Amino acid sequence: MMDIFLCLKQPSRMVDSKRMRMTSNFQWILLTFLLLYLMNQVSSQKKRTPHDLKCVTNNLQVWDCSWRAPSGAGRGAAYEVCIENGLHSCYRLEKNTKIPALSPGDHEVTINFGSSISKFTLNEKDVSFIPDTPEILNLSADFSTSTLHLKWNDKGSVFPRHSNVIWEIKILRKKNMEIVKIMTHNTTLNGKDTVHHWSWTSDMPLECATHYVGIRCYIDDPKFSGHKEWSNWSLLKNISWSSDSQTKVFPQDKVILVGSDITVCCVTQEKVLLALIGSTNCPLIHLDGENVAIKIHNISASESSGTNVVFSVEDNMFGTVIFAGYPPDIPQKLNCETYDLKEIVCTWNPGRPTSLVGPRNTSYTLCESFSGKCVRYKRAEVPTNESYQLFFQMLSNQEIYNFTLNARNPLGQSESTLLVNVTEKVHPHTPTSVKVKDINSTAVTLSWHLPGSFAKIKLLCQIEINKTNSVHELRNITMKGVENSSYLIAVDKLNPYTIYIFRIRCSTKPFWKWSKWSNEKQYLTTEAIPSKGPDTWREWSSDGKNLIIYWKPLSINEANGKILSYNVSCSSDEETQSLSEILDPQHKAEIQLDKNDYIISVVAKNSVGSSPPSKIASMEIPNDDLKIEQAVGMGNGILLTWNYDPNMTCDYVIKWCNSSRSEPCLMDWKKVPSNSTETVIESDQFRPGVRYNFFLYGCRNQGYQLLRSIIGYVEELAPTVAPNFTVEDTSADSILVRWEDIPVEELRGFLRGYLFYFEKGERDTSKMRGLESGRSDIKVKNITDISQKTLRIVDLQGKTSYHLVLRAYTDGGMGPEKSMFVVTKENSVGLIIAILIPVAVAVIVGVVTSILCYRKREWIKETFYPDIPNPENCKALQFQKSVCEGSSALKTLEMNPCTPNNVEVLETRSMVPKTEDTEIISPVAERPEDSSDVEPENHVVVSYCPPVIEEEIANPGADEAGGASQVIYIDIQSMYQPQAKPEEEPENDLVGGAGYKPQMHLPVTSTVEDLAAEDDLDKTAGYRPQANVNTWNLVSPDSPRSTDSNSEIVSFGSPCSTNSRQFLIPPKDEESPKSSGGGWSFTNFFQNKPND
């Protein structure tokens, strides 16, 4: 700012002196008044002179200075302004003055107005630089792109030097002028008036609302040190869309980048109810009038028909379609090649899909920079991610092409370039019209058609030659390209009469790509004469009169055509026999020959000619030193080796046959060169387990000598049968076994030995299970001497059953087993000893017992046979008298619930029971006591309930017997056990023995009864109880028919009883059933002992 120097320094000094002198309370008030006075003085002084000098500039060349006029100065008052800037220049001016810009630094400015003089110090720093307000020359709008174009002049010519200008442009929208954007734009002033252009693209379509634009500037002159300020804003210019009354939506069919934002508006005079993007409702942004807009953020890729934006008014809908997609990707894998050197085909991959289709789809232009030619890609109806291709016609005399592929869509463009030498990028078409022609039987010519003008380059072609059952052969051929597309070459080194399949593919030199293989062409080469005679052998017939000549058909390679026939001839020194025209399928001929030496010759013939003859001598060279050897093969074949023999000049022949066949036996033969010493004989006819004979012949001067005879198996198997064996001899401790050979067919290998197993064992009990499991009781003998045919087994036990097993084995395994049971003979000495010792012991015991009994006979009598009381005193026997007296009243029998039984009275010895009574009773503890306790006086109930409870009665006759109430007198001394049918067999009983016998079938199980019956029949002597003790024991104590319940009415053996028959003496001998079941014998002893 300006400093003002006034020539009034006195007052200020006065003020100072006054202030210093003030001391009292009024000091401050006075001071204040003084100050106000002084200020007033100063101001009045100012007002009397020009003051407040201010300078501004708008072009840096002229300063526009102004000051305040002194009070009283009228309008049009003249001032003299003098500036001290080196020269003293004075201007006579009115109130404002334009002075040329002063150099930097302080300058004294004196303004004289009448008598008053004002002095100012003026510096550039005090000058403000305010550029002129810019003026918009033109504001235009591109509605389709929503772009505003602004044009203005920088009026640079008024500025002395170059300086930067910052333009600030503001965009306002709507009628209420909302600021949308303020942007800066930098330019430089270059001393000339320059019109500037500036464009701005609106986020909102310009049709949606009125847009206003204003501009101001700021000139940043680096040399100007004063105060730089922005210019004033220019006058606003606006752009608005003059709509007709129709409702419209903007923008229409806009293509935008995926992810960008877009504003869509509806210019309408109707009220918009809602806006939809697709099916999503959008908030409305209200613009002027009824116009509305919506803003879409981060739009996603559209489907092919675009994204719909719809505004609904009351009775209509309006909308637009937005296509959101991507700019084209850089074309990928651009490749240009030619098929025929006439046309270049370029292929590429479009890369990322753009999501834009139809007219918005990517268009491609392929341009070649050297020729300047371009071709356009016609858009496909259906967009594809697959390869695109364009054809470019080749130009004559141009080999190198620089291609640029430009991809363009509404969102942008991209390109890809390729420099290519087409002669190195030839990918020939597939060869066609392949033809084959004969040259001879081993060579043909191949011709084909390959479209293209390859006259200037070389072709590399590959011929694939396929022969059936053979690896395919590839031959490379380099040839000069021709203009007429026809190619021809010769293919040699073929086999006659062979089917070949040819196919061709071509490339160019330098190699780029093979063409596809042509179609296959099959061709049969012509025939040639057979290259060699057939492989021949001969055998004498079994009677030795005829020679059978065998030959093998020639292989395809040797036959060189179809063999039609064979000629066989036999020649000796004297004569020649010939058999001609033996047609092909026959490979054998028989000629009657004497035993002279003949040379047999066989030739094969095809349509072209005859093969060289193959010759063989009819006779063999004898060999005395011949052994038969064994050989085993390797499953599929058999390896034969022999020593090298320099005498053998032609070859070796191995012939073989199945050993079981009769002579002449020939399955096949094989020739091996004379320098070999081994061969593997293989044949599909070989079977494992079959014995073959192999004969090795050596050849000298077409004559063959048998060198070796070999029997062999290609694979050994286990025998299929066991050797037949018989026991030749047995003794008490040894067995002699003899066996027979196994037939060769069933042996199936070389016999290596026999295995003989033996063990103790019966046929039923001892099964030879798990012979190989190593049971300790099995003894095994391995007989490896295959000539051995017998075996004696020793150290055996006498009278013992042995299980013998024999099996043969080969290297192929064990054969089946054959077994036999043999019992060794008894050992007589042992038997004698076994009898004598018990007899001797028994005798000794008997003697000692007899002696003892004799000595102690009195004691024994006292102990075992005390005096028997008189049976006359026995009450139990009194009833017998009554019976005898015939007192019927007393004889009344009282029936008890027991099953009635029969008592048989044998009329002989009717009185005997009396003496035996005590004996009967004594063993049974209960019954005698019971009977004595409940003894009635005269009423003797003879009742007895046999325990017929649960047993089945085997014999129906017994039921009848049981059901009948009879009185039968029995001699109770009889030990006879009655049969189950007493009625039917009384005679037998009578005959069988006298005395008492029970008649009733006893309620015992039939088995036990039978046993007892038999036993009793055997031993009829002495008294025996009739009931089995077991039956008594079976009765339960609480049974109504048990002995307890019947104890009150016990009677037995009485002739008056109708029921009684049971004797209540339990059997003494419990062991007897057992002993009778299996009686002890020496045989048992011997048999059982080993098992124990």
Partner 1 sequence: MSCQLAILCLLTLLLPLLSRGAPMSPAERITQAYNLALSMQENMSTLLQTYLQAQGSPFSDPGFSAPELQLSSLPPADISFKTWNALDDGERLSRVQGAFLALSQHLQLVGDDQRDLNPDNPILLAQLRDARLRAQGMLGNVAAIMTALGLPNPRAEDTVGLVPFGASAFEQKCRGYIVIREYGQWTDRAVRDLALFKAKYPL
Q: Which of 54-62, 310-318, 687-695, 978-986 is the region at the interface with partner 1 (rule: CB under 8 A)?
A: 310-318
CB closer to partner 1, 356 vs 459: 356
Q: Which of 299-307, 450-458, 830-838, 935-943 is the region at the interface with partner 1 (rule: CB under 8 A)?
A: 299-307
Q: What is the 3-state secondary structure (H, E, C) of 77-92?
A: CCEEEEEEECEEEEEE
Task: List % helix, strand, coil for the chain (3-state, nearest 5).
Answer: 15, 40, 45
Closest among 911, 906, 969 to 942, alpha carbons compared: 969
Which of residues 55, 189, 310, 808 is near partner 1 by CB under 8 A? 310
Closest among 615, 579, 587 to 599, alpha carbons compared: 615
Cα separation, 237 vs 434, in Å, equals 81
What secondary structure letter does DSSP report for 643?
Answer: -
Which of residues 73, 249, 718, 958 is near partner 1 by CB under 8 A? 249
Residue 208 CB, nearest approach to partner 1 (Å):
16
Question: Is residue 363 classed exposed, middle or buried when 0-12, 13-18 and 19+ CB atoms within 10 A define those classes?
Answer: middle
Closest among 814, 801, 808 to 772, alpha carbons compared: 814
Residue 254 CB, nearest approach to partner 1 (Å):
10
Residue numbers 690-719 binding partner 1 by CB under 8 A: none
Cα separation, 419 vs 370, in Å, equals 11
And the tokens for 224? 């100007």
Residue 323 CB, nearest approach to partner 1 (Å):
8
Would you call 495 helix, strand, or coil by DSSP? coil
CB closer to partner 1, 381 vs 543: 381
Residue 272 CB, nearest approach to partner 1 (Å):
14
The mark string for 1043-1082 relative to partner 1 (x by CB under 8 A, - otherwise) is ----------------------------------------
Check binding of 892 to partner 1 (CB under 8 A). Answer: no
Cα separation, 263 vs 242, in Å, equals 20
Which of residues 25, 176, 279, 776 is near partner 1 by CB under 8 A? 279
Q: Which of 298-306, 482-490, 702-710, 804-812 is the region at the interface with partner 1 (rule: CB under 8 A)?
A: 298-306
Which of residues 12, 186, 305, 636 is near partner 1 by CB under 8 A? 305
Residue 807's CB is within 10 A of a number of other CB atoms, namely 21
Check binding of 948 to partner 1 (CB under 8 A). Answer: no
Residue 303 CB, nearest approach to partner 1 (Å):
5
Q: Which of 13-21, 97-105, 296-304, 574-582 is the region at the interface with partner 1 (rule: CB under 8 A)?
A: 296-304
The alpha-helical segments, DSSP class H, found in 307-351 are none
Sign for the CA dihedral angle at 945, 949, 954, 960 comes to positive
Check binding of 263 to partner 1 (CB under 8 A). Answer: no
Question: What is the total count of residues that contact partner 1 (CB under 8 A)?
Answer: 29
Check binding of 405 to partner 1 (CB under 8 A). Answer: no
Strand order in the sheet with 725-730: 725-730, 735-739, 790-793
Check binding of 252 to partner 1 (CB under 8 A). Answer: yes
Check binding of 383 to partner 1 (CB under 8 A). Answer: yes
CB closer to partner 1, 382 vs 474: 382
Residue 201 CB, nearest approach to partner 1 (Å):
20
The alpha-helical segments, DSSP class H, found in 358-449 are none
Q: Which of 377-385, 570-578, 712-720, 790-798 is the region at the interface with partner 1 (rule: CB under 8 A)?
A: 377-385
Residue 459 CB, nearest approach to partner 1 (Å):
43
Which of residues 58, 247, 307, 1031 is near partner 1 by CB under 8 A? 307
Beta carbons within 8 Å of 816's beta carbon, 6+ residues apart: 719, 720, 721, 722, 807
Closest among 778, 792, 818 to 737, alpha carbons compared: 792
Q: Which of 246-254, 547-555, 913-921, 1063-1071 is the region at the interface with partner 1 (rule: CB under 8 A)?
A: 246-254
- Asked whether the beta carbons of 345 and 314 are under 8 A apart, the reply is no
Check binding of 382 to partner 1 (CB under 8 A). Answer: yes
Q: Which of 67-75, 143-151, 376-384, 522-530 is the region at the interface with partner 1 (rule: CB under 8 A)?
A: 376-384
Which of residues 35, 182, 195, 317 is near partner 1 by CB under 8 A? 317
Check binding of 164 to partner 1 (CB under 8 A). Answer: no
Which of residues 304, 385, 649, 1084 is near partner 1 by CB under 8 A? 304
The mark string for 39-78 relative to partner 1 (x by CB under 8 A, - otherwise) is ----------------------------------------
Check binding of 308 to partner 1 (CB under 8 A). Answer: yes
CB closer to partner 1, 7 vs 382: 382
The mark string for 335-374 relative to partner 1 (x by CB under 8 A, - otherwise) is ----------------------xxx-x-------------
Residue 332 CB, nearest approach to partner 1 (Å):
21
Which of residues 38, 93, 158, 276 is near partner 1 by CB under 8 A? 276
Check binding of 300 to partner 1 (CB under 8 A). Answer: no
Would you call 790 helix, strand, or coil by DSSP? strand
Which of residues 178, 253, 933, 959 is near partner 1 by CB under 8 A? 253
Q: What is the 3-state secondary structure (H, E, C) of 856-892?
A: CHHHHHHHHCCCCCCHHHCHHHCHHHHHHHCCCCCCC
Cα separation, 688 vs 696, in Å, equals 21
Q: Position of tokens 């048998």?
A: 706
Cα separation, 571 vs 793, in Å, equals 67
Would you call 1050 helix, strand, or coil by DSSP? strand
Residue numbers 795-854 binding partner 1 by CB under 8 A: none
Residue 412 CB, nearest approach to partner 1 (Å):
20
Beta carbons within 8 Å of 471's beta carbon, 6+ residues apart: none
CB closer to partner 1, 264 vs 1056: 264
Please write down the long-range contacts of 1080-1089, taking CB distance under 8 Å and 24 or more positions apart: 1082/831, 1082/834, 1082/835, 1085/834, 1086/798, 1086/799, 1086/826, 1086/831, 1087/799
Beta pairing, strands 51-57 & 128-129: parallel
How far out from the chain centre does Cα 432 lie?
Answer: 46
CB closer to partner 1, 279 vs 478: 279
Sign for the CA dihedral angle at 1042, 1045, 1046, 1048 comes to positive
Q: Which of 160-168, 249-257, 481-489, 897-905 is the region at the interface with partner 1 (rule: CB under 8 A)?
A: 249-257
CB closer to partner 1, 304 vs 887: 304
Residue 361 CB, nearest approach to partner 1 (Å):
8
Residue 302 CB, nearest approach to partner 1 (Å):
8
Beta pairing, strands 316-325 & 254-257: parallel
Cα separation, 65 vs 95, in Å, equals 9
Sign for the CA dihedral angle at 1014, 1015, 1018, 1024 comes to negative
What secondary structure letter does DSSP report for 967?
Answer: B
Q: Position of tokens 């016990």?
A: 1050
CB closer to partner 1, 358 vs 956: 358
Which of residues 3, 381, 867, 952 is near partner 1 by CB under 8 A? 381
- Asked whether the beta carbons of 502 and 465 are under 8 A apart, the reply is yes
Residue 407 CB, nearest approach to partner 1 (Å):
18
CB closer to partner 1, 361 vs 979: 361
Check binding of 319 to partner 1 (CB under 8 A). Answer: yes
Check binding of 244 to partner 1 (CB under 8 A). Answer: no
Residues near partner 1, by CB under 8 A: 249, 252-253, 276, 278-279, 302-308, 310, 315-321, 323, 357-359, 361, 381-383
